[in-house]
Structure 1
Amino acid sequence: MSWLKRAGILPWVLLAIVLGILCGQFFNDPIAKIFVTFNSVFSQLLNFSIPLIIVGLVIPAIADLGRGAGKWLGITAGIAYTSTVIGAFLTYFTCKALYPHILNAGAFDNVEEASDGLEPYFTIEIPAVFDVMTALILSFVVGIGIALVPKGVMRKGFIEFREIITGLIEKVIIPLLPLHIFGIFLNLTMTGEVVEIISVLLKVVVLVIALEVVILLLQFGAAGAVAGRNPFKALWTMLPAYMTALGTSSSAATIPVTLRQTLKNGVSHPVASFVVPLCATIHLSGSASKITAFSLAIITVNSLPVSTAQLIGFMFMLGIIMIAAPGVPGGAIMAAVGLLQSMLGFGDADVALMIATYIALDSFGTATNVTGDGAIALAVDRFAKKELEENHRQDAEEFEPESYLEEVRAGGSPAKAGNAEAESGSQS
């Protein structure tokens, strides 16, 4: 079993997917509803935890970035927006060239809105303390404020809070993720939702998946050039995050795995803790690509009178909407409904079709989103590292600089830096 421990969560995720599909062939409803009930409770726990994860990771990360936090926030948001818009435009030009040859009018006539699947035996409501956007704004305001007073009491408190959140992630969320993914694939297999929808949209699906691979190659190619890293090795390191997102269909729920793999790519801990939770909400290049592809498919098969200028405006606005979309399953398409209606003239039936197809294939776009977050982290780390090290040296009175920097480079946490020598001594 030692190889499983070294491999991390990836083999467990793959096993959960395979078993979910196989068990869906012969499990009866009463047994399946046990796992559906677990998923219902676990989803409530995730929804409760996600804002706390953002606050717990982003605030101390901004504090570590020091007075430059506002600058790095703007740079990260700008990179995320640019990446999202480029993904949309790449999809637009590709689909514009291929759809007239592979799609015919009436191709979506047999597609029905996805059903809700099996119902759990019971549900437990666990309301979040605040929503995701509130958590982000609170993190920016408090984090930048703490950065202006780097030796204040609040900074120490939020560093300790980060340790609590890290424990929640490592000891609760990550160990339960494979079981959650098993339940998702079990439910989808038994209800047949994905099979029915993919059978109708097969041509579009294949094209979208190919495009999202190209998007990832472009993102890591650019990040590798900026950071001086091997882009293929960096992309391979992010594979566990990609596979986890395939199961969860949630950028926010995949934050723990994305963060861990980003650290394995050599990104410093403060930058990774800042960029990954932030980009889980604002960087949705895969979702933008998928929404663009499905929108153009509906326009093509229904011969809707949408001009090129309308589509260009739609894609630029889509990039902004994706920044505000929550990193939860279906969050991107729900945020984009207003644009589909106002800018593309989609009616109720068209919007229902978009929602059904998007949610059925949500995991592929989400996987692209979270994997691309690792590329953005590489690029930001390339420019932020010197400033980070300078800020750490200024904090010498609170932490031993050498042990702290060694812990950061190793992917550890500031609170543990002071014990680095003791731990290494005991291990030897």
Structure 2
Amino acid sequence: MKRIGLLPRIILAIALGIGAGLVIPEWGIRLFATFNSLFGSFLGFAIPLIIIGFIAPGIGTMGKEAGKLLGLTTSIAYGSTIGAGLLAFFAAKTLYPTLLANQTTHGEFENPEEVLLEPYFTVDMPPIMGVMTALLIAFTLGLGLAAIKGDTLQRVLNDFRDIIEKLIDRVIIPLLPLHIFGIFANMTNGGQVGAIMSVFAKVFVMIIVLHFVYILIQYSVAGSLRQKNPFGMLKKMLPAYFTALGTQSSASTIPVTLKHTKTLGVKERVADFSVPLLATIHLSGSTITLTSCAMAVMLLQGEVPTFGTLFPFILMLGITMIAAPGVPGGAVMAALGLLESMLGFDSTMLSLMIALYLAQDSFGTACNVTGDGALTAITDRFVRADQLEQMGVKKVG
């Protein structure tokens, strides 16, 4: 199975889960429900560790980079991320009442505990702290590291981040297909899978369209600032887009993104600095997906997403995306704490979010890296060549 990519495994798990839910007796479904309960409890235990492990060292490292250019690039990236979240919110708010009308009006997924089979037993795995406490500790440590010159705690947190990355890469991600298999088997047995698959298809199409719309917005802004044809600029970045579709990793696509960003007429030293940084902190495609999927899951649960609820979530999501680990599905893992603490998602809702997100992960990554080229061009517009020396940005090579 390791030779098969994560996305094919997720699709296979969903298909097999639906089939199994139609033929497996209740005792078998309860067996998988028991595994899901254990996995969900462990995921709840790991969420505070993920928050501290990624946010704290991420913010601390950023504070030690080249000051003014870092601030400019980060501000543009954060603004782009928030814009992506707002686009997704208003699009979903406009389209979901029509797209998801049957599911939301008939409440086919409300109160899932009433139709899902119970596990044979549960094991309590309480987290060492609450999600909000973990967020506060992560921001306190990260901002403190950015303010001081010491590196001892930074190295400790970097090692802790590496441990959490291994936990995600070697334990959580490999077990996700089995977890999703059990979820869909239980939902099929409870008669809910039709509503879920219908939502999957509609939300997936909307998300991909929003990705393309937002890429066009980014390049329209970059083209107007640089007085260039945005479609011509976008055409030059297509190799980065298709590379990201295959790698599902912004970091792995950096060489291709950097090479083609320089063809946009960007100063070489600006590109050398901004592209690797944006690969870490700019996840507009992932933000579109997370916001859209979160609203869909809320509607399935009979909740009505409001701007007052989603806007603070989007603002925090823009910061949390800095912490997204460099593994497939890393963005949704980093966002689990926010989904739980700010939107009140339970283990079933979190599992649906993971499944929805992973189904389009490669497209979200492609949107992220393609947008990096536009944002680098925008950053370059506001930086003069003589300012680079003052900012301490050296030419690579």
Both proteins in one fold, TM over 0.5: yes
2:250 touches 2:368 (CA, 8 Å); kept in 1? no
2:33 touches 2:119 (CA, 8 Å); kept in 1? yes
Q: Which residue of 2 aligns with 1:177?
A: 176
Return 144-153 or 374-383, whichever deviates more: 374-383
Which sections of structure 2, spanning at least 5 residues, go unmatched?
A: 223-233, 258-274, 318-333
2:184 touches 2:193 (CA, 8 Å); kept in 1? no
Deviation per CA, 1:144-189: give whole Å up to 9, x if none: 2212334421111112212221221222222222211211121111
Query: CA separation of 1:19/1:207 partners in 2, compared to 1, >3 Å: closer, same or farther?
Result: closer
Q: Letter of the 1:20 partner, please give it.
A: G
Separation in structure 2 between the aligned mates of residue 82 and residue 369 of structure 1, nearest angstrom: 20
Separation in structure 1 between the aligned mates of residue 5 and residue 314 of structure 2, nearest angstrom: 30
Q: Letter of the 1:169 partner, please give it.
A: I
Deviation per CA, 1:352-411: give whole Å up to 9, x if none: xxx9xx999756764589664774576469659999xx9xxx9xxxxxx9xxx99xxxxx
Separation in structure 1 between the aligned mates of residue 108 and residue 243 of structure 2, nearest angstrom: 38
Residues 257-272 of structure 1 mapped to structure 2, 5 A cutoff: 261-266=249-254
Residues 1:285 and 2:291 aligned together:
yes
Q: Which residue of 2 aligns with 1:247?
A: none
- Report the Cα offset of residue 322 of structure 1: 4.4
Residues 23-422 of structure 1 mapped to structure 2, 5 A cutoff: 23-67=20-64, 75-93=76-94, 108-109=105-106, 111=108, 113-116=110-113, 117-195=116-194, 197=195, 208-221=203-216, 229-230=237-238, 232-233=241-242, 236-237=245-246, 261-266=249-254, 284-287=290-293, 290=296, 314-315=306-307, 318-323=310-315, 327-328=335-336, 331=339, 335=343, 366=357, 372=364, 375-376=367-368, 379=371, 383=376
Q: Letter of the 1:233 partner, please give it.
A: F
- Report the Cα offset of residue 12 of structure 1: 2.3
Superposed CA RMSD in Å reads 5.0
Separation in structure 2 between the aligned mates of residue 13 and residue 335 of structure 1, nearest angstrom: 25
Separation in structure 1 between the aligned mates of residue 303 and residue 160 of structure 2, nearest angstrom: 47
1:288 touches 1:318 (CA, 8 Å); kept in 2? no
TM-score, normalised via structure 2 length: 0.62
Query: CA separation of 1:26/1:110 partners in 2, compared to 1, >3 Å: closer, same or farther?
Result: same
Please state whether the residue corresponding to 1:182 is helix, strand or coil: helix
Query: CA separation of 1:50/1:76 partners in 2, compared to 1, >3 Å: closer, same or farther?
Result: farther
Please state whether the residue corresponding to 1:262 is helix, strand or coil: coil
Query: CA separation of 1:220/1:178 partners in 2, compared to 1, >3 Å: closer, same or farther?
Result: farther
Query: CA separation of 1:80/1:367 partners in 2, compared to 1, >3 Å: closer, same or farther?
Result: farther
2:51 touches 2:138 (CA, 8 Å); kept in 1? yes
Q: Which residue of 1 aligns with 2:8?
A: 11
Query: CA separation of 1:360/1:193 partners in 2, compared to 1, >3 Å: closer, same or farther?
Result: farther
Query: CA separation of 1:165/1:374 partners in 2, compared to 1, >3 Å: closer, same or farther?
Result: farther
1:60 touches 1:158 (CA, 8 Å); kept in 2? yes
TM-score, normalised via structure 1 length: 0.58
- Report the Cα offset of residue 212 of structure 1: 2.2
Separation in structure 2 between the aligned mates of residue 330 and residue 52 of structure 1, nearest angstrom: 13
Which sections of structure 1, spanning at least 5 residues, go unmatched?
A: 241-260, 300-310, 338-354, 395-400, 407-428
1:62 touches 1:147 (CA, 8 Å); kept in 2? yes
Separation in structure 2 between the aligned mates of residue 369 and residue 19 of structure 1, nearest angstrom: 19
1:216 touches 1:368 (CA, 8 Å); kept in 2? no
- Report the Cα offset of residue 13 of structure 1: 2.2
Please state whether the residue corresponding to 2:250 is helix, strand or coil: helix
Please state whether the residue corresponding to 2:127 is helix, strand or coil: coil
Separation in structure 2 between the aligned mates of residue 161 and residue 374 of structure 1, nearest angstrom: 29
- Report the Cα offset of residue 27 of structure 1: 0.9
Separation in structure 2 between the aligned mates of residue 234 and residue 125 of structure 1, nearest angstrom: 43
Query: CA separation of 1:123/1:373 partners in 2, compared to 1, >3 Å: closer, same or farther?
Result: farther
Query: CA separation of 1:320/1:78 partners in 2, compared to 1, >3 Å: closer, same or farther?
Result: farther
Query: CA separation of 1:158/1:133 partners in 2, compared to 1, >3 Å: closer, same or farther?
Result: same
Please state whether the residue corresponding to 1:130 is helix, strand or coil: coil
Q: Which residue of 2 aligns with 1:424?
A: none
Q: Which residue of 1 aligns with 2:267?
A: none
1:282 touches 1:324 (CA, 8 Å); kept in 2? no
1:118 touches 1:187 (CA, 8 Å); kept in 2? yes
Identity %: 27
Deviation per CA, 1:75-131: give whole Å up to 9, x if none: 5543332212112323455578x78xx979x99357473432111111111122223
Separation in structure 1 between the aligned mates of residue 13 and residue 45 of structure 2, nearest angstrom: 24
Please state whether the residue corresponding to 1:263 is helix, strand or coil: coil
The size of the alignment, in residue pairs, is 328
Separation in structure 1 between the aligned mates of residue 93 and residue 104 of structure 2, nearest angstrom: 19
